[in-house]
Amino acid sequence: MNFHQLRIFVTVANRGHLTQAAQMLGMSQSAVSAAIKALEASSGARLFNRVGRGIELSRAGAAFLPEAKAVLDRMLAARLVLENLSQHVVGSLSIAASQTIAGYWLPGRLAAFQERFPAVRLDVSMGNTRQVETAVLDGTADIGLVEGRTHADTLIRSRVDVDRLVLVAAPSTTIPTGSAGPDLGAIRWVVRERGSGTREALEDLASRQGLLLDDLNLSLILPSNEAVRQAVEAGAGATVISERVVARSLDEAALRHLPLELPPRDFAIITHGERQPSLALAALGDLLRNNAGTTCVN
């Protein structure tokens, strides 16, 4: 039993899904499955029940989960003590970021951080806003970056940048309109999964027009920004998405920008208010806040 196995176990237990946990950890599903099997073999206990295509905690797994979380917390605290005693920015950081940030905002800033602090190893995972919030809460991530709302009172949240959202469709896609612009209730929508900040933005737009998300024609639900962009380019419908994701498609006329004014949304850092930040985490937070306007090459 080791730190790596415990971290994987806690992530799988919190997600209740091997594929989602693997995506969050930045690992292959087979590697995650192998780590769980190794942990079960070393303990002699089955930690998960395989139910159809899904998994759920067994009775032993449910009893082990709080202990595993406690061990992770103690190991993280011990690491923090050693890092802070050295007074050098060293060690490792686990970063969880939502898809728009991870794909289009974060990479250049992490490169700048590593140029300044080469002794810090960065371990980045990607998920939607809800998954990132969970990772910070359960300690599998030291810091999260999200564009959607978070709900836990124990989180410290600070804005680091602003994102522009746009309504787009393929040039050949007919968009129903009314007297006030695009008819949201009549559009075929291509959207992200539940828990994503991008889907939340569409829900907010519908609410401002007196509609529920369930009132919209959600014709296609996809798990990534790139899948949404490609489906919309292929004529599957329209979507609300970050301008960063579709900038090239707009330039190349693969998509068109529809006239609808959308409010900006925040890119935010989230950290756990009850965990003392390491020197490395404080340095990363400072860089992200102070370089909010940096242009990144993707």
- Taking only the tens place, the pLDDT of each residue in 66-104 is 888 888 888 877 776 766 666 667 788 999 999 999 999
Backbone phi, psi, residue 9, to 5° = -60, -45
Domain 1-87: state its class: mainly alpha
- Taking only the tens place, the pLDDT of each residue in 160-171 is 999 999 999 999
What is residue 200's predicted lDDT score, i.e. its pLDDT? Answer: 93
Residue 53 pLDDT greater than 50, yes or no: yes
- What's the N-to-C CA distance of the chain in angstroms? 38
- Taking only the tens place, the pLDDT of each residue in 204-216 is 999 988 999 999 9
Decide if domain 165-263 falls under CATH 3.40.190.10.
Answer: yes
What is residue 141's predicted lDDT score, i.e. its pLDDT? Answer: 92
Residue type, 72: L
Report domain extents, the chain: 1-87, 88-161+265-298, 165-263
Query: Do the domains 165-263 and 88-161+265-298 match in fold?
Result: yes
Q: Are 281 and 157 in contact (CB under 8 A)?
A: no
Q: Are 227 and 254 in contact (CB under 8 A)?
A: no
Which runs of E-coded beta strand occur in the chain?
A: 48-51, 54-57, 91-98, 120-127, 143-146, 155-163, 165-169, 177-178, 181-182, 188-192, 217-222, 238-242, 256-257, 265-272
Q: Are 224 and 253 in contact (CB under 8 A)?
A: no
- Contacts (Cβ under 8 Å, ≥6 apart) of 279: 83, 84, 87, 88, 89, 90
User: 44: phi > 0 → left, psi -120 to 50 → alpha, else beta; which?
Assistant: left
Please tell me which residue, 295 or 157, carries the higher pLDDT value: 157
Residue 28 pLDDT greater than 70, yes or no: yes
Q: Which CATH superfamily is domain 88-161+265-298 in?
A: Periplasmic binding protein-like II (3.40.190.10)
Taking the complete model, does pTM exceed 0.75, yes or no? no
In whole angstroms, give the CA distance from residue 96 to residue 124.
6
Cα torsion 186, 188, 194, 198: sign:
negative
